[in-house]
Amino acid sequence: MNTTSLQTPIEYLKGVGSNRGEVLRKELNIHTYQDLLYHFPHRYIDKTQYYKINQIQPNSSDIQIIGKITHLKTVGESRGKRLVADFVDDTGKIELVWFRGQKYFRESLKINVPYVIFGKANWYGQNISIAHPDMELLTLHEKSLKVAMQPIYPSTEMLSKKGITNKVMVNMMSQLFVEQKIAVAETLPNYILEHYKLISKNEALFQIHFPQSANKLALAEFRLKFEELFYIQLQLLLKNQIRKQKIKGYVFENVGDYTHKFYNEVLPFDLTNAQKKVLKEIRNDLGNGAQMNRLLQGDVGSGKTIVAFMTCLLALDNQMQTCIMAPTEILATQHYNSLYAFAEKLNLKIALLTGSTKTKERKEIHESLENGSLDILVGTHAVLEDKVQFKNLGLAIIDEQHRFGVAQRAKLWKKNAIPPHILVMTATPIPRTLAMSLYGDLDISVIDELPPGRKSVKTVHRRDGNRLKVFRFIKDEIKKGRQVYIVYPLIQESEKLDYKDLMDGYESIAREFPTPEYQISIVHGKMKAADKDYEMNRFVKGETQIMVATTVIEVGVNVPNASVMIIESAERFGLSQLHQLRGRVGRGAEQSYCILMTGYKLSEDSITRIQTMTSTSDGFEIAEVDLKLRGPGDLMGTQQSGILNLRIADILKDNQLLQAARAFAKNILSEDSKLELPKNQILKRNYILLTKDKKKWQYIS
């Protein structure tokens, strides 16, 4: 491999120069020959076919024709001015049209000389024209690098404005391969190449830019996709392995009095099989000497809280403190309240620490944490403050992790000489296969079963015109003693507008549901925490029947008596958000309802979201649809995992290949966990390159 030439600055390539170099750097982040090499086409056009003019059909898309220009003329005035050529073959005539660069084309196009042209045919009545076709003299075409599939490179407005057309891009690539004879070292060991029948790296890179046939292109894509996914998985698995080897964790051997007493005397129901399975997995982690780093996925209402609490008990059985963190004050408070009752029965000391905890109380909490008399601390981000020090923190539980970043997890680690075990809980279901590739460095448990006796929430879609009927329905439910949520969207960019919507909505609801017969709570992001809590608590205690709120209630709030969830402007919510909101009801014994209110004009995606909501309550199914609608970009964690920087593989479409790559990487590590065998040296070298320099990641994968 000729490394120096791969690192050559892009402007040295013939046909680039400093101006184009600048554009390439800015627009495509292409700095070197190597960067260019890894700038892959995003689609291809079949170039094996030549059309005769009389074969062109309306809607023939991209067509290639051999023929001659017989006549060139400029027509039209000022802005409508254009250059028009008559182009003929032995079957007919079409027009070629140029709006831009007329002078250049007028001077350079040759009359009565065979060209190969390529472009999109437009029909005007019986006439066919092609605007700005790719033109190549037949003699040059015959000499040029033959491709079966014409590569089309991703472009930007700036690129085409600066004249870096697809053709220019292709020319640059052929400079690389033909003139510079660029060569890249193999990045996978022979045994993998043989096992998957992969073509060499060099061949793959050539074929991806200059496919000689559809089949060779497919082989090239397969090779490059496999490699990309394989190295990501290898990296994730190694990271996980290193963590397990290096990071010692407390060993919680004893299942002691707290656990026994809770299980036998306090726990108000039987655990579901899924809960038992997950507890077993956690218990395993806590007993094996390595630090636990586990993600617990479970749909809303699947009973994660009990699992969390029983995990705490295991730590407490082993004389360690625990903390539980939630993303919002409301949620932390609710966790605190629901666990308080349990803790009391077990004689455990539990405290709540949030931004609004009073100084005096805060001081007491700090002290009792430090002297070890406090057993369980529940709180918000406030728990992470440096002043908060534990005597012996053994376990940290993080609820709804998408609001806590990796940095914050790291902060927790530092609270102890030995990092505490960490359990992350999320109700955002991610298809399991995807989760594994996103969180290869976490272990994953799934509660895939709801507690028995749950009635699924009846979900319907209603337009604004049905509002009165909806109000009547609400009144009926309240008469039965139930409570109702009415939720408004809150999107950052239009915060003011949303606030107005919420307040308008609140006023009309207040008119429709007058005091003293009806009591209404209102909770939104602009309120002080204390006011929020006050309002929320009134609803939790049943003093108010209606809760008007923005999405602050989305996460985790638990009011079993609430049986109706009205979502206003439902078209503005994402699927996972809708699912989360719906999860606020259906928590008690009563039949619950979710009503999605929308206007009349809905986008296709909105319709899909609403139909999905009305047809299923399976969080994983919903997550799949969500993924298809939005792509993985919005999923939590994708930013951190690097999975989005995929160059060629597609995490959804290539999921099976991803599984295979992961399994293969796993096998390799189980035989040679440190990549010490000679046959794996090539893997080790590339792995080190990847981890040493994040930027190089892209080159390898």
Binding interface with ligand ADP (CB under 6 A): 269-272, 275, 298, 300-306, 427, 451, 558, 560, 587
**How near is the Cβ of 555 to Mg ion at its closest, in Å?**
8
CB of 171 to ligand ADP, least distance (A): 58
Residue 22 exposed, middle or buried by CB count within 10 Å (0-12, 13-18, 19+): middle
Rg (CA), the chain: 32
Minimum CB separation of residue 267 from Mg ion in Å reads 17
* Side chain identity at residue 548, one-letter code: V
Residue 603 burial by Cβ neighbours in a 10 Å radius (0-12, 13-18, 19+) = exposed
Which of ligand ADP, Mg ion, none interacts with 505 (beta carbon under 5 to 8 A by kind)? none
Nearer to Mg ion, 278 or 675 (CB): 278
Query: Whose Cβ is closer to ligand ADP: residue 372's or residue 451's?
Result: 451
Asked if residue 314 lies in contact with residue 252, where contact means CB atoms within 8 angstroms, the answer is yes
Smallest gap from Cβ 197 to ligand ADP, in A, equals: 45
Residue 544 touches which of Mg ion, ligand ADP, none (CB < 5 to 8 A by kind)?
none
CB closer to ligand ADP out of 302 and 701? 302
Nearer to ligand ADP, 294 or 304 (CB): 304
67 forms beta bridges with 115
Shorter beta-carbon distance to ligand ADP: residue 242 or 589: 589
Name the binder of 606 from Mg ion, ligand ADP, none, CB < 5-8 A by kind: none
Residue 298 interacting entry, from ligand ADP, Mg ion, none, C-beta within 5 to 8 Å by type: ligand ADP
- Which phi-psi region, left, alpha or beta, contains residue 481 (left: φ > 0; alpha: ψ -120 to 50)? left
Residue 492: what are its φ and ψ, rounded to 5°? -50, -50
The candidate with the shortest Cα–Cα distance to 211, out of 46, 36, 30, 65, is 46
Least distance to Mg ion, CB of residue 164, Å: 52
- HEC per residue, 462-504: EEHHHHHHHHHHHHHHHHCCCEEEEECCCCHHHHHHHHHHHHH
Written in H, E and C, the secondary structure of 306-328 is: HHHHHHHHHHHHCCCEEEEECCC
The least distance separating Mg ion from the CB of residue 450, rounded to whole angstroms, comes to 13
How many helices and strands, by DSSP H and E, does the chain display? Answer: 27, 21
- By a kind-dependent CB cut-off of 5 to 8 A, residue 451 interacts, out of ligand ADP, Mg ion, none, with ligand ADP
| Closest residue to ligand ADP, based on beta-carbon distance | 303
Q: Would you state the structure tokens that stand for residue 469, as one six-digit string? A: 């009927």
Answer with the entry of ligand ADP, Mg ion, none that 255 interacts with (C-beta below 5 to 8 A by kind): none
Q: Tell me the three state secondary structure of residue 575.
A: helix
Which is it for the CA torsion 688, 693, 699, 701, positive or negative?
Answer: positive
Task: Identify which of residues 123 and 269 has a Cβ nearer to Mg ion in the complex.
Answer: 269
Q: How far does the chain reach from its first CA to its final CA, in angstroms? A: 17
Q: Residue 426: name its binding partner from ligand ADP, Mg ion, none (Cβ under 5 to 8 Å by kind).
A: none
Of 279 and 487, nearer to ligand ADP (C-beta) is 279
Strands 114-124 and 127-131: antiparallel
Residues at the site binding Mg ion, with contacts judged by CB under 5 A: 556
Least distance between ligand ADP and beta carbon 453 (Å): 7
The answer to whether residues 486 and 568 touch, using CB atoms and an 8 Å cutoff, is yes
Q: Spell out the alpha helix ranges (H) of 525-654.
A: 529-540, 575-582, 604-615, 619-630, 638-641
Phi, psi of 194 (to 5 degrees): -70, -45
| Structure-token pair, residue 459 | 């979900």
271 binds, among Mg ion, ligand ADP, none (CB under 5 to 8 A by kind): ligand ADP
Closest CA to 145 of 166, 174, 118, 116: 174
Nearer to Mg ion, 133 or 556 (CB): 556
* Residues forming a β-bridge with 124: 127
* CB of residue 420 to ligand ADP, shortest distance in Å: 21
Looking at beta carbons only, is 193 or 444 nearer to ligand ADP? 444
- In angstroms, give the least distance from the CB of 473 to ligand ADP: 25
Find, among 393, 404, 442, the residue nearest to 282 by Cα: 442
Residues in the chain, overall count = 701
- Cα separation, 477 vs 561, in Å, equals 11
CB of 638 to Mg ion, least distance (A): 23
- Output the smallest distance, CB 601 to ligand ADP, in A: 34
Q: Residue 131 binds what, of ligand ADP, Mg ion, none (CB under 5 to 8 Å, by partner type)? A: none
Binds 272: which of ligand ADP, Mg ion, none (CB < 5-8 Å by kind) = ligand ADP
Which of Mg ion, ligand ADP, none does residue 415 bind to, with CB < 5 to 8 Å depending on kind?
none
Q: State which residue has the least CB distance to Mg ion.
A: 556
Closer to ligand ADP by Cβ: residue 203 or 621:
621
Q: CA-CA distance, 596 to 590, in Å (whole number)?
A: 19
| CB closer to ligand ADP, 234 vs 450 | 450
Residue 558 interacting partner from ligand ADP, Mg ion, none (CB closer than 5 to 8 Å by kind): ligand ADP
CB of 296 to ligand ADP, least distance (A): 9
| Pick 104 or 263: Cβ nearer ligand ADP | 263
The least CB distance from residue 641 to ligand ADP, in Å, is 24
> Residue 322's closest CA among 300, 301, 351?
351
Closest to Mg ion by CB, 16 or 308:
308
Q: Which of the listed partners (Mg ion, ligand ADP, none) does 189 bind, with a CB threshold of 5 to 8 Å by partner kind?
A: none
